Amino acid sequence: MISEKIQKALNDQINAELFSSYLYLSMAAYFHSENWTGFAAWMQKQSAEEYGHAIKIYHYLTEVGSRANFSAIEKPKSEWKSPLDVFEEAHKHELTITNKINELVNLALSEKDHATNNFLIWFVNEQVEEVSIAMQIIHKLKLVGDNKSGLYLLDRELSSRQ
């Protein structure tokens, strides 16, 4: 039901989402090693959310009679200088994923694959949220700077992510 070109692009996106999950889990491990348990919990939830994105695409592929094909997942970075450094990298990564989603939408439109385009709109909206949240956290981290009390309060705030 979908073209081979779109099937390949969606499989590439599954890989990108799984890498995102892996990257955020690595960020969580970094935060745990630094005793920032709230930041770590936030990143663990982000990792699970990204895994869910991969599964969503997987299910779409099976619904349209295609097959998910998996490739190796790149090893993520594991060390950062500070919480700000981590979230700046997360923001940069989300911008990369946004570009990938936009390329998928462009491909679906060029192939006149309205079902896939409709499916991808959820991801377009999700990326707006992902980028915005990362920017909000970066702004807060810049506000508190190296103030340990401020970092502690932000760590505590992020631990309550649902």
pLDDT for the residue 60: 98
pTM of model > 0.85: yes
Range of the domain at 133: 4-73+80-158
pLDDT for the residue 1: 80
Which of helix, strand or coil describes residue 64? coil
pLDDT for the residue 97: 98
Residue 16: CATH number of its domain: 1.20.1260.10
pLDDT for the residue 162: 74
Q: How many Å apart are CA 124 and CA 121, to the nearest integer?
A: 5
pLDDT for the residue 109: 98
By the 8 A CB rule, do 66 and 14 touch? no
- What's the token pair of residue 157? 């705030």
Number of domains making up the chain: 1
pLDDT for the residue 161: 84
Mean pLDDT by groups of 10 residues along the chain of 162 residues: 95 98 98 98 98 98 96 96 98 98 98 98 98 98 96 95 79
Q: How many Å apart are CA 126 and CA 74, to the nearest integer?
A: 23
Cα–Cα distances (Å) from 142 to 4, 33, 41, 154, in that order, read 45, 22, 20, 11
